[in-house]
């Protein structure tokens, strides 16, 4: 009897077992995706309903579809989205600038207390946000920053720079030291090393920090509600509350507003996903 005829029966159970495990993984992944998409599908179907359709067919789609809800929602939340965009852009610039500089210093320079200071940065991540809420509010009040855009920007930059510094340091440490040494041999100073080597190679982690900052600004609700009373300065997370009036709630327009407010995050992730994943993994996009 040949070796092939002996090996074939033993390989068949392994192949069937591998197929069963693969099918189980696919089923689990489909279930996870379905659970994640169901709320989004519910928001999508409700966004084209009237209040009467929402009351009579809560889960199922209902016809005719009322796309005018999106016009109503856009007219309502457009000013609030503009505020969120301004806060996000300024916060990204501040966080990226601080994180890049501090991460570069921690990763490429040796100085007394380097490990201690970085440990303190890591320790700040362990402080729950609710514990600093009252001191932060009192500080903003004493600085006369309540009811301004800066009360939304400064705490966001201060908090985001902590995680940003850790991500930047970890990523920059993965850049080969030979690149910096070769540039120094050619006469490049610290500023040139930062601009010509470190900054271009750090674009993946810059994309990661930028996306995390936008998500934080878009999802921040309690702090703007606490510190901003002027409607012209409220972000979109708080502006969505205006769909609930004394005469009732326009559910179709409200859920259409949720859809419109989620589109910027969806588009950003689609365009920055490879940089986001590369920044988290600590590599360049396309290098793995």
Average pLDDT, the chain: 85
The reported pLDDT for the residue numbered 277 is 67
The reported pLDDT for the residue numbered 286 is 46
Q: Is residue 287 part of a domain?
A: no
Q: Is residue 35 part of a domain?
A: yes
Q: Is residue 55 part of a domain?
A: no
Residues 124 and 16 in one domain: no
Quick: pLDDT tens for 52-65.
999 888 888 888 99
Q: Is residue 108 part of a domain?
A: yes
Residues 133 and 239 in one domain: yes
The answer, yes or no, to whether residue 212 has pLDDT greater than 70, is yes
Residues 40 and 77 in one domain: no
Q: C-alpha distances in angstroms, 69 versus 57, 220, 257?
A: 17, 25, 8
Residues 104 and 179 in one domain: yes
Is residue 274 a contact partner of residue 285, using CB atoms and an 8 Å limit? yes
Residues 119 and 31 in one domain: no
Residues 174 and 257 in one domain: yes
Residues 129 and 167 in one domain: yes
Quick: pLDDT tens for 184-197.
888 888 888 888 88
Q: Is residue 57 part of a domain?
A: no
- Cα–Cα distance between 80 and 246 in angstroms, integer? 20
The answer, yes or no, to whether residue 246 has pLDDT greater than 60, is no
Residues 41 and 72 in one domain: no
The answer, yes or no, to whether residue 217 has pLDDT greater than 90, is yes
| Tokens describing residue 209 | 């920090």
Least Cα distance to 255 among 77, 106, 133, 104 occurs for: 77
Cβ-proximal residues to 65 (8 Å cutoff; 6+ apart), any chain: 48
pLDDT band at 15 (very low <50, low <70, confident <90, very high): low
- Cα–Cα distance between 176 and 89 in angstroms, integer? 31
The reported pLDDT for the residue numbered 120 is 92
The answer, yes or no, to whether residue 1 has pLDDT greater than 50, is no
State what percent of residues in the chain have pLDDT above 90: 45
Q: Is residue 52 part of a domain?
A: no
In a 3-state reduction of DSSP, which class is residue 245? strand
Is residue 48 a contact partner of residue 203, using CB atoms and an 8 Å limit? no
Quick: pLDDT tens for 257-279.
999 999 988 888 887 777 666 65
Question: Alpha carbon 63 to chain centroid distance?
Answer: 35
Residues 142 and 207 in one domain: yes
Report if pTM > 0.85: no
Q: Is residue 276 part of a domain?
A: yes
Residues 41 and 90 in one domain: no
**Residue 244 sits in a domain of what CATH number?**
1.10.3720.10
Q: What is the DSSP letter of 65?
A: -
State what percent of residues in the chain have pLDDT above 70: 87
Residues 140 and 232 in one domain: yes
Domain that holds residue 72: 68-281
The reported pLDDT for the residue numbered 285 is 46
**Structural domain tally of the chain?**
2
Q: C-alpha distances in angstroms, 182 versus 106, 177, 189, 190, 283?
A: 20, 9, 11, 13, 21
Instruction: Give me the residues paired with residue 245 across strands.
Output: 248
Q: Is residue 22 part of a domain?
A: yes
Residues 74 and 36 in one domain: no
């Amino acid at each position: 009897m040949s070796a092939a005829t002996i090996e074939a029966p033993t390989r068949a159970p392994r192949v069937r077992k591998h197929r069963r495990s693969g099918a189980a993984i696919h089923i689990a992944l489909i279930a996870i995706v379905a659970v994640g998409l169901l709320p989004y599908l519910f928001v999508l179907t409700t966004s084209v309903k009237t209040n009467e359709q929402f009351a009579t067919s809560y889960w199922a789609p209902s016809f005719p579809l009322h796309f005018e809800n999106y016009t109503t929602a856009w007219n309502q939340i457009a000013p609030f989205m503009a505020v969120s965009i301004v806060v996000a852009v300024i916060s990204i610039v501040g966080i990226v600038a601080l994180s890049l500089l501090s991460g570069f210093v921690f990763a490429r320079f040796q100085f007394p207390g380097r490990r201690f200071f970085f440990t303190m940065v890591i320790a700040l991540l362990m402080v729950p946000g609710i514990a600093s809420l009252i001191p932060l509010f009192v500080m903003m009040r004493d600085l006369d920053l309540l009811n301004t855009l800066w009360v939304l920007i400064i705490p966001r930059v201060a908090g985001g720079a902590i995680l940003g510094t850790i991500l930047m340091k970890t990523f920059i440490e993965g850049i080969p030291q030979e690149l910096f040494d070769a540039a120094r041999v050619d006469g490049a100073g610290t500023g040139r090393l930062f601009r010509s080597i470190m900054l271009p190679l750090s674009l993946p982690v810059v994309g990661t920090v930028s996306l995390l900052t936008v998500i934080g600004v878009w999802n921040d609700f309690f702090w703007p509600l606490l510190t901003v009373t002027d409607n012209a300065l409220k972000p979109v997370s708080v502006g969505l509350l205006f769909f609930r009036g004394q005469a009732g709630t326009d559910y179709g327009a409200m859920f259409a507003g949720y859809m419109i407010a989620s589109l910027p995050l969806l588009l950003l992730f689609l365009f920055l996903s490879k940089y986001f994943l590369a920044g988290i993994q600590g590599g360049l996009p396309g290098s793995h």
